[in-house]
Amino acid sequence: MAHITFNTKNIENFVAEHELDEMQPLITMADQQLRHRSGAGAEYSDWLTLPTDYDKEEFARIQTAAQKIQSDSKVLVVIGIGGSYLGAKMAVDFLNPMFNNELADDQRKGVKIYFAGNSTSASYINDLVRVIGDQDFSVNVISKSGTTTEPSIAFRVFKQLLEKKYGTDEAKQRIYATTDANRGALHDEAKISGYETFTIPDGVGGRFSVLTAVGLLPIAASGADIEALMTGARDAQEEYSDADLKKNEAYKYAAVRRILYDKGYTTELLINWEPTMQYLSEWWKQLMGESEGKNQKGIYPSSANFSTDLHSLGQYIQEGRRDLFETVVKLDNPVSNIDLPHENGNNDGLQYLEGVTIDEVNTKASQGVTLAHVDGGVPNLAVHLPAQDEYSLGYLIYFFEIAVGASGYTFGINPFNQPGVEAYKTAMFALLGKPGYEDQTKVYRARLNQ
């Protein structure tokens, strides 16, 4: 039995059992393209066996580097964007208390983790520099090429801070580069400067890279158990190895999503009921959006954080256009709980809840919202996690990865490339006057002046 459970009881009015049966041949075809590496983009599908086929020597070096960071630093600045940032941020948030960076040193498992290089905001960088202040810190810069604009800018700033604080030689011992194994600007700089380096595997695209050094070093530095994380993913790899929809819930999720899409439900909201899962949704949105959004096809991935967003988006979800469905990631056992305090009188109207835990309120709220949304015409799927821990997260990561890999092939597209991402870069580089973009510079500047 799978460690996590996928619940489809709230789509019975939207998807008939025979429709799932009719999806089996398409899912079987997608599974064969994945397993036999015969589908488009197969050269980037090494994530499929990553939980069992990863570099054990590098894994041990990651653990050693994390221990060094914890011994000589209070802060790790993780520099990256997109897949070089979202997976690590998601996991660090998921596996640690909500206000982890504000806790005293003896109450945290590892160092404070801050992220940079994920925007072009000068204010963000300046604010982070002020937060670090006089604290000892290290930097993990993550980039396949070493020339991506946002992380390259941030790396210049924080490298200079390291050199000013520690001197050139010690600064080099506090920089950890996660990059291409053989080429690229960051690879070359790391080799010349002597930074400790970790590899972004050629066969694993950025949005699938959280279980490589890209995610594992920051996660380990935060104090999380990356061995348990990989064990969860390994067990999920085994669990989701059968193409039979009656045996593979990850494929069932992919099949149900496709059926709903064909019926006009073209937007999926990933719902969480825990603030520490907000970045799970951000990671998931990149995973789904970059994998499926091609050739004018694909489900649009969005998200909502409940109960917070029920007071802003709730009206639209309940009674707006009927082109969306929800997938709820629900934690069955909270990390911690609290009893609602007793109080004399009933001014706030909460006396009926006295003796009830706040997590019970959260759970009943989620159940009530589901019933209301289903009654309002919103199909509702649910993924239940038994615990918010490393093993469960590794399992969940693989669940979503294998699901979107199969789903992409059912759309007849390459789930592992992202050609559309280059369009904005061309326009941005042209407007900035980057060498090699002179012709485009004239065109784009003229358009701005129209």
Enumerate the active-site residues. Answer: 290, 425
Strand pairing report for 267-272 and 112-116: unpaired
3-state helix, strand and coil shares in percent for the chain, rounded to the nearest 5: 55, 15, 35
Integer Cα distance of 125 and 112 in angstroms: 16
Q: Which residues contact 77 (CB under 8 A, 6 or more apart)?
A: 114, 115, 116, 128, 132, 137, 138, 139, 140, 158
Q: Say if residues 57 and 215 touch (Cβ distance below 8 Å).
A: no
Question: Mapping DSSP to helix (H, G, I), strand (E, B) and coil, where does residue 315 land?
Answer: helix
Distance of CA 336 to the CA centre of its chain: 23
CB 179 within 8 Å of CB 146 = yes
The alpha carbon of 168 is separated from its chain's Cα centroid by a whole number of angstroms, namely 34
Q: How far apart, in whole angstroms, are the C-alpha atoms of residue 88 and residue 140? A: 11
Residue 300, strand partner residues: 267
CA 69 to each of CA 175, 222, 339, 429, 447: distance values in angstroms, whole numbers, following the listed order: 10, 10, 38, 35, 48
174 half-sphere exposure, CB direction, 13 A CA radius: 27
Write the DSSP assignment of 8-38 as a string of letters: -GGGTTTS-HHHHHHHHHHHHHHHHHHHTT-
Helix axes 390-410, 17-35, angle to 10 degrees: 100
Instruction: State how far the Cα of 47 lies from the Cα of 92, in Å rounded to an integer.
Output: 20
CA-based angle 25:28:29, to the nearest 5? Answer: 90
Residue 328 backbone dihedrals phi, psi, to 5 degrees: -95, 125
CB contact at 8 A, 84 and 209: yes
SS3 79: strand
User: Prior bond to 119 cis, omega within 30?
Assistant: no
Look-up of token digits 């006009």: 264
